[in-house]
Amino acid sequence: MSLTMILLIGGGIELLLLVVGLVSSISNQKSVAEERISQLTAVDREVLSAAKKRPSPLTDWLNNRMQGSSYGSRIARDLARADLKMKPAEYIVLIAISVLGIGMVAYFLGGKSVFVAIIGGIFGIFVPGMYVRSRQAKRLQKFNDQLPDMLNLVVNGLRAGYSTMQAMESVSKEMPTPICDEFRRVVQEMQLGISMEVALDNLLRRIPSDDLDLVITAINVQREVGGNLAEILDTISHTIRERIRVKGEIRVLTTQTMYSGKIMSLLPVFVIVILYFLNRDYMMEFFKPESGICGFIALGLAALLIGGGYISMNKLAQIEV
């Protein structure tokens, strides 16, 4: 079988997986836990059951294979932290599409070189993960910025005579996303009979925030030993606001260092790619038999130095508050 035929078959498989992924993403807009909660708390269950569509056979088969596995649980946790309404099987399909798509693009741009296609496919494995981690970081930062306002709302509710659950419910109704979505889920879990401690632990698992951990610890301790929760949360809110202010000042001062590290680390990679397309014979000197192992040693040493420099500059810019 010729290489062209293999690429055509791969392109057809990629298109099929793309269609399956899009259909599955549209028909499954909620995660499994959120879907169960909605079904139990909705007023009209018949409308929900009529709107619910049957999942695709491919994603259903993959979900059955991954259900209960540590890898599937880790993927589901990462997707929940990024607020992506996808199942682990759909994420695996997305990785496959990324590998095939970027590999084919690299193959044609690289003069139909199989080596370039393999490099592009390897890079495609990490693209969805980079996107998910970027979404996680942005969502976590937004949640942390909204946390002091949430605490002020809870404190005002407690002082007005609300219970802790009623104060959380007011947060789920009056605060913007993402904090309202997370506390709405906490309230729904508590309405289903889950204890407040477990519901807050689930919240901390979805939002790995140090400030949120401090708040949840204060609530749990107050429930066990008593005390004025409004005063405790008011003090924590002031502390968190000061931490956010200091972090913002540090972020402004260290942004130049962080971006310098990223640009200086990516610049050699861009130069290698550009030279490969402009003067391929020059770059292939590293892989010629006449060069022996020296070419691979040079590339490995360069990668080691670039990675070490990037890590060092990031460590210099990371200041704990």
pLDDT at residue 10 in the model: 60
Listed residue (12, 18, 100, 101) closest to 58, CA to CA: 18
pLDDT at residue 106 in the model: 82
Listed residue (272, 276, 268, 271) closest to 309, CA to CA: 268
Cβ neighbours of residue 90 closer than 8 Å, sequence gap 6 or more: 21, 24, 25, 28, 59
User: Domain spans of the chain?
Assistant: 3-135, 142-246, 249-317
Q: pLDDT tens-digit profile of 162-215? A: 888 899 999 989 888 889 999 999 999 999 988 989 999 999 988 988 889 989
CATH class of 142-246: mainly alpha
Decide: 245 and 144 in contact? Cβ < 8 Å.
Answer: no
pTM above threshold 0.85: no
Q: Dmax over Cα atoms in the chain, in whole Å?
A: 82
* Residue ranges for the chain with pLDDT beneath 70: 1-68, 321
